[in-house]
Amino acid sequence: MVAFNFDVRRFDIYRKVPKDLTQPTLTGAVISICCIVFMLLLFTSELIHFLSGEIVSDLYVDNPGVSSERIPVYIKISLPRLKCDHIGLDIQDDLGRHEVGFVENTVKNPLGDDGCIFEANFLVNKVPGNFHVSTHSAQEQPENIDFAHVIEEVRFGSKIDNPNVPGNFNPLYGRAKIDGNSLESHDYVMKIVPTIYEDVSGKQTISYQYTYAYRSYISFSHGGRVVPAVWFRYDMTPITVKYHEKRQPFYTFITAICAIIGGTFTVAGILDSFIFTASELFKKFELGKQS
């Protein structure tokens, strides 16, 4: 009976070369160190990219939420030449809403001796309309009305916490109109784009980005009196932008790491072999010249 001896080591495609048959070189050591540093840098970059993911955008015709819902609005504006007692918020829209001197969720903080920082949180209907900061609701009108202003924030919808989300959610930030005719009214006409942000857990945040155009003019009341104000006129577009986080699959990350390691080792090995071969040929050439 013939004994059958099977050695699984025959399948080893990574045959080991005895250490005493190899030759270390200074060039090989330098290339090896550079190779390790390069792989660590690429691995770190790939890991950061895998953990952070990327934000993908979609565009479709829709309006998020129920049409009867209202849009939350936040405004913060500095008025350096009007006292807080004279400032109020008025809201109008195409559904017939007309509120003069809206006071709910409004905050007024004095700014110097004659100025005011005005803040307000309120809701608007999903129809064209406007809200404006004026003196219409003041019990006593000031003698000189000057709506010079600096806009800190005008935001529609909820605030998106991820700073990597693209878009113009507060393009009026820092907009200043200090110089000019004190009798001017300031008109900001805004086009609002509904925007949905969905994180990796599926949680959605509904916000609104917008663009704006500006004009100034002098407005008179029916009695011929100049009544300046800061107007924000808005209209919604039927297009919705959706941003959502997308993270590459784990197997893609592993494939990229293997490609980094294998590719770096291969290129470094070719480079080291080329340098070593060139060095040996140069040595033989020098020996031939001496002989």
Q: What is the tally of structural domains in the chain?
A: 2
- Please tell me the predicted confidence (pLDDT) of residue 290: 59
- Please tell me the predicted confidence (pLDDT) of residue 101: 86
Q: What's the whole-number average pLDDT of the chain?
A: 86
Same domain, 141 and 263: no
Same domain, 30 and 65: no
Same domain, 154 and 257: no
184 located within any domain:
yes
Nearest residue to 131 (alpha-carbon basis) of 22, 236, 233: 233
> Does 30 have pLDDT greater than 90?
no
186 located within any domain:
yes
Nearest residue to 101 (alpha-carbon basis) of 87, 115, 114, 111: 87
pLDDT in tens, 90-104: 999 999 999 988 878
φ, ψ of residue 286 in degrees (nearest 5): -65, -40
**Residue linked to tokens 């005493």:** 20
- Please tell me the predicted confidence (pLDDT) of residue 235: 94
Q: For the whole model, what pTM was predicted? A: 0.71
Residue 203: pLDDT band by 50, 70, 90 thresholds?
confident
Same domain, 166 and 241: yes
Same domain, 140 and 166: yes
The average pLDDT across 30-50 equals 88
> Does 63 have pLDDT greater than 60?
yes
The highest-confidence range among 18-32, 132-146, 182-196, by mean pLDDT, is 182-196
> Does 1 have pLDDT greater than 60?
no
284 located within any domain:
no
- Please tell me the predicted confidence (pLDDT) of residue 271: 87
260 located within any domain:
yes
Residue 291: pLDDT band by 50, 70, 90 thresholds?
low
- Please tell me the predicted confidence (pLDDT) of residue 289: 63
Domain limits for position 167: 60-246
Residue 233: pLDDT band by 50, 70, 90 thresholds?
very high
